[in-house]
């Protein structure tokens, strides 16, 4: 799999070709001294970079899944208060259901997080390659453990910044961005990068928090999540999100579950 990826991975800084070393311990940028290490099977395109967002998520990586999946009474009550949603991960299902199980081709998932909503789907996509990208090593390690437990060989884990994707442009058949846009600092640039990675006609689907729908949610997001570094201001309203998506994508369809907008579009 790592050897196969030489064809679609590129240096995120120069765009140069990458060559996997013989021991599969790093990629080297062709005609350069720059190397990107492969740490425990995770390709690290940010080897020297620590970041407030990455650290905040690394710290939360252990408890993240139970909050997202409403796995116990406490997290259900918490999510009911903050999001107005007690037991509803319908938005995640809408997204993964957009990809048929016999899908063939390359899928970019950014940010993959711990893979909690996608592992089951990806385990069925045996004809696809998934490039699972995240800024946080902690989240990627959890995703790795999860995918390995299912003996999945179709997912490559990559530490990179959504704004500097280490990919050949227009090389992906689909892009998934679940709960990421509200975390990305420069949201318009991130959407342009993700759509730039897509082939013409490729599908782009995801979901994100939008401001201005539910005042309790907005207050918690602004006072708590933003300070923690889990979400990053400024946030899109529903209209702003649709406008930015509409600038780079066609046939944008949306569903909203309280403050979460789920979208699906084509390039």
Residues that bind ligand SAM (CB under 6 A): 53-54, 57, 68, 110-113, 116-117, 134-136, 139, 161-162, 178-180, 183-184
Give the residue with the Cβ less far from ligand SAM, 110 or 210: 110
Cβ burial 16-39 (10 Å sphere, 16+ → b, else e): ebbebeeeeebbbbeeeebebebb
Give the residue with the Cβ less far from ligand SAM, 24 or 145: 145
Residue pair 164/186 in contact (Cβ under 8 Å)? The answer is: no
Distance in Å, CB of 48 to ligand SAM, minimum: 16
Give the residue with the Cβ less far from ligand SAM, 27 or 117: 117
Distance in Å, CB of 114 to ligand SAM, minimum: 6
Residue pair 161/46 in contact (Cβ under 8 Å)? The answer is: yes
Give the residue with the Cβ less far from ligand SAM, 18 or 194: 194
Beta strands in 30-114 (DSSP E): 35-39, 42-44, 105-109
Give the residue with the Cβ less far from ligand SAM, 16 or 185: 185
Distance in Å, CB of 93 to ligand SAM, minimum: 12
Token pair of 186 as six digits = 């420069």
Residue pair 168/10 in contact (Cβ under 8 Å)? The answer is: yes
Distance in Å, CB of 171 to ligand SAM, minimum: 18
Closest CB to ligand SAM belongs to which residue? 113
Residue with the two structure tokens 């013409």 = 200
Whether cis (ω within 30° of 0) applies to the bond prior to 135 is no
Distance in Å, CB of 75 to ligand SAM, minimum: 14
Half-sphere exposure of 51 (CA within 13 A, CB side): 21
């Amino acid at each position: 799999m790592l050897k196969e990826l030489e064809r679609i991975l590129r240096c995120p800084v120069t765009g140069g070709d990458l060559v996997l070393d013989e021991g599969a311990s790093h990629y080297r940028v062709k005609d350069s001294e720059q190397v990107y290490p492969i740490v425990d099977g995770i390709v690290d395109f940010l080897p020297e970079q620590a970041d407030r967002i990455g650290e905040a998520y690394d710290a939360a990586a252990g408890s993240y899944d139970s909050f997202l999946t409403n796995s116990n009474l406490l997290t259900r009550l918490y999510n009911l208060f903050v999001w107005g949603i007690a037991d509803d991960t319908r938005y995640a299902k809408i997204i993964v259901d957009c990809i048929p199980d016999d899908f063939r081709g390359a899928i970019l998932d950014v940010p993959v997080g711990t893979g909690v909503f996608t592992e089951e789907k990806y385990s069925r996509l045996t004809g696809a390659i998934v490039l699972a990208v995240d800024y946080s090593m902690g989240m990627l390690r959890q995703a790795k453990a999860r995918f390995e437990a299912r003996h999945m060989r179709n997912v490559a884990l990559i530490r990179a910044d959504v704004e500097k994707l280490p990919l050949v442009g227009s090389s992906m058949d689909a892009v998934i961005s679940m709960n990421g846009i509200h975390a990305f600092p420069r949201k318009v640039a991130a959407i342009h990068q993700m759509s730039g990675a897509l082939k013409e006609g490729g599908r782009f689907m995801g979901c994100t928090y939008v401001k201005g729908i539910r005042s309790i949610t907005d207050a918690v997001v602004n006072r708590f999540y933003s300070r923690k570094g889990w979400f990053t201001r400024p946030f899109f309203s529903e209209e702003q999100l649709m406008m930015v998506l509409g600038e780079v994508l066609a046939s944008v369809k949306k569903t909203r579950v309280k403050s979460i907008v789920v979208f699906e579009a084509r390039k």
